[in-house]
Structure 1
Amino acid sequence: MSIEKLQAHWGFTAMPFRRDLPAASLLRFAAHAEAAARTRWLIDQHAFGVLTGEVGAGKTAAARAATAGLDASRHTLVYLPNPAVGARGIYNAIVTALGETPRFHYSSLIPQAADVLAAESAERGRQVVLIIDEAHLMDTGQLEAVRLLTNADMDSRSPLACLLIGQPTLRRRIKLGAFAALDQRITLRYAMPGMSEKETKTYIAHHTALAGRADTLFSDDAAALIHQNSRGLPRAVNNLAVAALIAAFAAGKSIVDESSARAAVTEVATD
């Protein structure tokens, strides 16, 4: 089976449930809208925040939506998709993003990062927005390195807005006594829930409409089954919906019914 045949069968102009949608095309379900609004507030306030949620909850998509409209003349976005770069890598990324060559020795790299952050604001009039994804993987040294970055002018202000994005274990780790200094700096905390059943149905319809099918393609029973097994997590909804489309196509059906969705659930569960 080819993608072309699948698209032709359903009358799609493109495959639905893609990850590469522009920010403007993302469905703003309640948790997504809340996370994006809080992230924008964090940026406005030069604050430090933690955004958590289960795998596939849409955390990164919400942050992408929040930063998509930033004015490049007033903001410099530094996005780290993987904290495995270590504490040095975090400082290197900031210094490089702000147009400097990172110093070799770590002891001199730390003040260099502080200097370029201060210069970005004072000399160029731009605010740095640091977003670290998969932050539940950060070690103690990395978390401390980020905390140190938020100090400026004898702790009277923060030279950047910082958002850590991660799984629920991140929120629990920061609450440990060893991270008390970091925990006290966090002014924004939001744990993203999954979508409601109604939102999941709307989400499925939204994505099929973007692909060229504005009519009802998934039956209510199929959508309800997908919601139940995905717990309303967008990435899981995407995977099940695509598998259901394939199952219905293989059976020669004109809509995705409950049996197609059930076949998808079985396939994904045993994948």
Structure 2
Amino acid sequence: MTTTFKDLRSRFGFHTTPFTREIAVKDRFPLGQFDEVVEALLHTLEARMSCALIAPAGTGKTSVLRTVISKLPEARYRTHYVKVTGLSKRDMCREIAQAIGLPPAGSYPSLIRKLQDRFHETSDSTGLRPVLILDEAQDLRPDTLAMLKILTNFDMDSKLVLSILLAGQPKLRDLLRRDDLEDVARRLAHYATLRTLTRDEVHAYLDHRCTVAGAASVPFDSGAIDALFEIGRGNLRATDQLARKSLEVAHQHDRDACSAAEVAQARKLLWP
């Protein structure tokens, strides 16, 4: 039997396909650690300072960034998002220039000047506070990361103009601990971290995601919930993938709820 998401939704009482990345900020799982991290990052940015979000893959970093962006009023902030790779200083400047609407051409020194001028203009002429979010920052080259101390230096370091939010995996912390990046690390006024979910939090997360998708009950028995925690280890991304695949397996077997057996089979199908 061929599984269709429409049939799957009908069987389990979902209005939308559950456990996908397509979830609105307002429907984000309400968890204390997320809320604390969001508030701390917002507080730092509101003070015109820079900060870092360091989190293992799949623990909700992107969700936190989306929430932070949604809570920065467009009437007060001009937010720019750049997903970085191992680029040279000049190429990184070109990526940032493109993100803020500048022609991405010129030498490294001229690009730095153009970027600073634009951020200064945004702050002085429009009254908007520029915020630059650099995602996957663990992939920044050390010399490129060091460039940020120049990019945030205005009027001989006497004026706070640009706030930078570095977001990345734990490798970013190791990078910032390098002696040659001490100046950059000291420019960050706050470091936020995320952890994996506990067993009880995974249970609550499954209930929340099923409710948001329209189900009146959670189609996982207690054994399935335990298996989702043990296999997924509280990682949000892994839990989403396992839960969605487990529902597909249960549907294919004409079952109205998932047991540990479906979760185990889903694990084999996802990660052979």
TM-score greater than 0.5 by the shorter chain: yes
Find the residue that maps to 1:159 and give its secondary structure: coil
* Matching residue of 1:5: 7
Distance 1:24 1:143 in 2: 33
**2:46 matched to 1:44?**
yes
Find the residue that maps to 2:255 and give its secondary structure: coil
Q: Deviation at 1:193?
A: 0.4
Stretch deviating more after TM superposition (28-37 or 106-115): 28-37
* Matching residue of 2:219: 217
Q: Deviation at 1:121?
A: 0.6
- Structure-2 change in CA distance of 1:238 and 1:82 (3 Å): same
1:103–1:112 Cα contact (<8 Å) kept: no
Distance 2:68 2:242 in 1: 27
Distance 1:145 1:89 in 2: 12
1:51–1:189 Cα contact (<8 Å) kept: yes
Deviations along 1:73-105, one digit per CA (max 9) or x if unpaired, are 211111012334543344334444444434422
Distance 1:105 1:4 in 2: 53
Distance 1:105 1:90 in 2: 12
Distance 2:123 2:52 in 1: 23
Find the residue that maps to 1:104 and give its secondary structure: coil
Distance 2:90 2:74 in 1: 26
Letter in 2 for 1:32: F
Q: Deviation at 1:262?
A: 2.1
Deviations along 1:99-140, one digit per CA (max 9) or x if unpaired, are 443442222111111111111111110011111111111002
Q: Deviation at 1:220?
A: 2.2
- Structure-2 change in CA distance of 1:119 and 1:191 (3 Å): same
Distance 2:12 2:175 in 1: 46
Find the residue that maps to 1:83 and give its secondary structure: coil
* Matching residue of 2:56: 54
Distance 2:138 2:45 in 1: 21
Find the residue that maps to 2:52 and give its secondary structure: strand
Find the residue that maps to 2:183 and give its secondary structure: helix
Q: Deviation at 1:173?
A: 1.4
**2:169 matched to 1:167?**
yes
Question: What does 1:169-188 align with in structure 2 at a 5 Å threshold?
Answer: 169-188=171-190
**2:185 matched to 1:206?**
no
Q: Which runs of 4+ in 1 moved over 6 A?
A: none
Find the residue that maps to 1:73 and give its secondary structure: coil
Question: What does 1:147-162 align with in structure 2 at a 5 Å threshold?
Answer: 147-162=149-164
Aligned equivalent of 1:106, options 108, 126, 136: 108
Deviations along 1:142-193, one digit per CA (max 9) or x if unpaired, are 2022221121122123311111111111101110112111111121112210
Distance 1:209 1:226 in 2: 18
- Equivalent pairs: percent with the same residue? 25
Deviations along 1:39-92, one digit per CA (max 9) or x if unpaired, are 211211122212111111111111111111322121111101233454334433
* Matching residue of 2:192: 190
Structure 2's unaligned 5+ residue stretches are none
Distance 1:70 1:51 in 2: 16
Q: Deviation at 1:214?
A: 2.4
How high is the TM-score relative to the length of structure 2?
Answer: 0.92
Letter in 2 for 1:156: S
Letter in 1 for 2:144: Q
Aligned equivalent of 1:120, options 119, 122, 125: 122
Structure 1's unaligned 5+ residue stretches are none
Q: How many residues align?
A: 270
Question: What does 1:25-104 align with in structure 2 at a 5 Å threshold?
Answer: 25-104=27-106
Task: State the superposition RMSD in angstroms.
Answer: 1.7
Find the residue that maps to 1:187 and give its secondary structure: strand
Distance 2:193 2:218 in 1: 32
